[in-house]
Structure 1
Amino acid sequence: MSTQASKDNTEGQKVPLLVDDHTVTTVRESKIMVILRGLPGSGKSTMAKEIEQKYKDNAHLFSADNYNIKPAIRTSDGGEYSIMDDELHKCCDRHEANLVILDDTHHDRDRLEKLFDLANQFHFTVLVIEPKTLWKLDCGQLKDRNHWKLSLEELKNLRPTLEKELLPLYFGWFLAQCDEDKLRKISQEFLEQLGAFKAFKKHLQSYGIEDKHKLNLLKYFAKTPNILHCTSKYCDYGKVVGSEEYAQMEAVKKGYSRAYTLHITALFVTPRTTGAQVELTEEQLHLWPLDAEKEVMPKDNFPKGSRAHITLGTAADIQDVQTGVDLLEFIKLQQTGGEKEDFGEMYRGKIHYYENGMWMLTLSRKIEVKTIFSGYYGKPGVTAPQQGSKKVFLPTCEIM
């Protein structure tokens, strides 16, 4: 790389997955799809190559330039991407890389939705990254910098599609696949032990189960998220009031694509959901909206971060958002001194029964999971495959 190119991309090099050690380690244990987005000449290709080089042992770069796809406002069905998409699909299907890098303008919403669908299909966490170069929207400079020799008018036609920030369905911490696999296993073991617990079988009426011999909590909570995560802010692609303001918070901009370790303090089960209670650090609370608890329980007062959780499964026809509501119900009972029965040690901690089929396992040792703070950009309601579906496992790691 030339001295000038290196200088020009100084800002771009500050993205966490290039310079933050914890992020680099976590990315290596995750399945990540990096979607570089911006005008031609803004610095995407330089950044793409640096990311590929950083993770060269397990990364695959797909550049639209290499397929001779010229940046333009689309008037067709995107057929020019057919060869590139075939190779991208094969790469994902054959598990050839855990880090897939896509270098293109990505100004077209239909194109992006196709990529988001692909990411969901193969369980990739998506990172949408734009260059931070000072000229990224300066068409005058970009006219001389882009190798396609696009005119000033062509660049100005593209710019409006890239000026507005791309907001996700929600922001949150997405588990590295290595730790996700471990947590799913812990969740399954907990449900199996709870289902076999004599005291649990005495409260089956809350679950609508008459015959205790037909009890199978794994089947009862068959709906699980495609990628385990802890939601911080629901945005509905920008439709929710306050979404744009949240995305522009300094902590969110600095935290995006960065790795964080979350601490799980308890596992819980209700007739609707099963989840993990997350204890956020002071740094992580900067990414937590002030109104997160009031959104679902406006009449109650909870400490900031009380709703932080990871949904592990839901009963039929129950939405994931219910898990956070259920967790606040537990906390409300704890605050008011609601009755609970302590049943002593079970599995990884102490098991407690509250009311209406609500069980909580307070862990004797917190579970640590590595995560990447990003957004979910795909369609709502995507769930993980049932047992027996094709799945790739990363090298084993210890979960505390």
Structure 2
Amino acid sequence: MSSQASPKDPQEGQKPPLLVDDHTVVTIRESKIFVLLRGLPGSGKSTLGKEIEQKYKDTSRLISADQYEIKPVIRSSSGADYTKLDDELTTCFERREANLVILDDTHHDHERLEELFDFANKYHFIVVILEPKTPWRLDCAQLKDRNHWKLSLEELKNLRPSLEKDLLPLYFGWFLAKRDEDSLRKTSHEFLEQLGNLKAFKKRLLAYGYEDKHKLDLLKHFAKTPNILHCTAKFCDYGKAVGSEEYARQEVVKKSYSKGYTLHITALFATPRTVGARLELTEEQLLLWPLDAEREVMPKDSFPRGSRAHITLGTAAEVQDVQTGIDLLEFIKLQQAGREGESLGELTGSVAGKVSYFDNGMWMVNLSRKIEVKSIFSGYYGKPGVSVPLRGSKKGLLHQCHIM
């Protein structure tokens, strides 16, 4: 299917990118996606869900709350009516029956949503929340006749307030497709292994808290890594952060949601606090990059837009992921001052490039060849700080990467 909307099909432009964009379709097939269909009964969720299932019929699984006779009402119960549905979800995730799981429900209850976000985190699925774009999706008078539950006008009006407002994530960003994520984790391991074995690095261990080179283990030093590798575009704090609602309302953000993008990694870097990948955003990707993203963390400095774009690969214990972007800006700040670092050797393989050393344990390898990774632009809706332990052996690191 063409990624361009056909003039003969005006509804095509209303469909999410995962249905109409060729590059997105390829990326979705290489990712682990949990689609939550959200909206009032009768708004068109089931039709949208079946269309997505048909588009990805070889790799998808559609599960509906209707199958379990779960009536969409304001609940005061403990949610026991979801037990059987959740059992099916668990089986689907654990047996890897599908890499695209679609859940059809109203998703109006925040406690229920939090349970589903925990599901996604546990099994490393990217969450995509989709709502039908039908003209009647919020028209309770029409929905009264369209919903098969025969909900009254009053019952629909009671549900509507919880579904009128957009559900904002902790942050928007580009989330790596599973295949490329696994590959990048291996590349990160190789980078740390080669860097740690570099003679020049072993002579400069104090910044990392080591005196004896034999005790050096960079994989152990960078104790944790994000649950799903990603590049954060806008931190929203579920709508509490300044400018988050305005960001989410931008047409470019709405049109890009669930769309596939190729990210370009130009360098890998390590400091005593973080290890990360530097990104070079395209003009299209920069449209999704907030104007104040760099100024948010370094208000007194001036950087080109997109300078902070990165993927956190790991952090030292107790260090927050946000530090990786700050560390990257410190490198760029030195470069702006004309300091390109001391050239101290080269790395080989997938991390081939010249190694430069800056002050205070700051190392960067500018890659001879850019690394391309596929990603999906979406939101992270779960709890903050979810991470995966980064074990200190090659076997341990690969064990955490589930190859699809």
Q: Which TM class, normalised by the smaller chain length?
A: over 0.9
State the partner residue of 1:95.
Answer: 96
8 Å CA contact retained: 1:266, 1:361: yes
State the partner residue of 1:356.
Answer: 360
1:321-336 aligned at under 5 Å gives the runs: 321-336=322-337
Q: Give the CA deviation at 1:140.
A: 0.8
Is the partner of 2:90 in helix, strand or coil?
A: helix
8 Å CA contact retained: 2:182, 2:402: no
State the partner residue of 2:184.
Answer: 183
State the partner residue of 2:255.
Answer: 254
Q: 1:9 and 1:166 mapped to 2: Cα distance?
A: 26
Q: Could you tell me which of 373, 380, 398 is aligned with 1:376?
A: 380
8 Å CA contact retained: 1:36, 1:102: yes
State the partner residue of 2:120.
Answer: 119
Q: Does residue 195 in structure 1 map to residue 196 in structure 2? A: yes
8 Å CA contact retained: 2:341, 2:357: yes
State the partner residue of 1:10.
Answer: 11
8 Å CA contact retained: 2:12, 2:20: no
Task: Could you tell me which runs of 5 or more consecutive residues in structure 1 were left unpaired when the two chains were aligned.
Answer: 1-6, 395-400
8 Å CA contact retained: 2:263, 2:279: yes
1:53-64 aligned at under 5 Å gives the runs: 53-64=54-65
Q: 2:388 and 2:50 mapped to 1: Cα distance?
A: 32
Q: 1:311 and 1:326 mapped to 2: Cα distance?
A: 11
Describe the shift of the 1:385–1:84 C-alpha distance in structure 2 as closer, same or farther (beyond 3 A).
Answer: farther
Q: 2:253 and 2:10 mapped to 1: Cα distance?
A: 22
One-letter identity of the residue aligned with 1:393: I
Give identity over the alignment, percent: 74
Q: Map Cα deviations across residues 194-228 of structure 1 (whole Å, 9 max, x no partner).
A: 00000001111111111110101111112100000
Number of aligned positions between the proteins: 388
State the partner residue of 1:397.
Answer: none
State the partner residue of 2:138.
Answer: 137
Describe the shift of the 1:227–1:149 C-alpha distance in structure 2 as closer, same or farther (beyond 3 A).
Answer: same
Is the partner of 2:41 in helix, strand or coil?
A: coil
State the partner residue of 1:392.
Answer: 402
1:222-301 aligned at under 5 Å gives the runs: 222-301=223-302
Q: 1:248 and 1:126 mapped to 2: Cα distance?
A: 19
Q: 2:321 and 2:276 mapped to 1: Cα distance?
A: 10
State the partner residue of 1:25.
Answer: 26
One-letter identity of the residue aligned with 2:373: V
The alignment's TM-score, normalised by the length of structure 2, stands at 0.94
One-letter identity of the residue aligned with 1:363: L
8 Å CA contact retained: 1:11, 1:132: no
8 Å CA contact retained: 2:354, 2:365: yes
Task: Could you tell me which runs of 5 or more consecutive residues in structure 2 were left unpaired when the two chains were aligned.
Answer: 1-7, 391-395
385-394 or 245-254, larger mean C-alpha shift? 385-394
The alignment's TM-score, normalised by the length of structure 1, stands at 0.95
One-letter identity of the residue aligned with 2:107: H
State the partner residue of 1:217.
Answer: 218
8 Å CA contact retained: 1:11, 1:133: no
Q: 1:337 and 1:13 mapped to 2: Cα distance?
A: 48
Q: Give the CA deviation at 1:385.
A: 4.7
One-letter identity of the residue aligned with 1:376: Y
Q: Could you tell me which of 364, 367, 370 is aligned with 2:371?
A: 367
Is the partner of 2:225 in helix, strand or coil?
A: coil
State the partner residue of 2:3.
Answer: none
One-letter identity of the residue aligned with 2:185: R
Q: Give the CA deviation at 1:340.
A: 1.7
8 Å CA contact retained: 2:193, 2:218: yes
One-letter identity of the residue aligned with 1:131: P
1:61-76 aligned at under 5 Å gives the runs: 61-76=62-77
State the partner residue of 2:393.
Answer: none
Describe the shift of the 1:8–1:133 C-alpha distance in structure 2 as closer, same or farther (beyond 3 A).
Answer: farther
State the partner residue of 1:3.
Answer: none
Q: 2:400 and 2:90 mapped to 1: Cα distance?
A: 15
Q: 1:206 and 1:113 mapped to 2: Cα distance?
A: 40
Q: Give the CA deviation at 1:337.
A: 1.3
8 Å CA contact retained: 1:39, 1:155: yes
Q: 1:340 and 1:95 mapped to 2: Cα distance?
A: 46
Q: Alignment RMSD, CA only?
A: 1.5
Q: 2:9 and 2:47 mapped to 1: Cα distance?
A: 10
Q: Give the CA deviation at 1:8.
A: 12
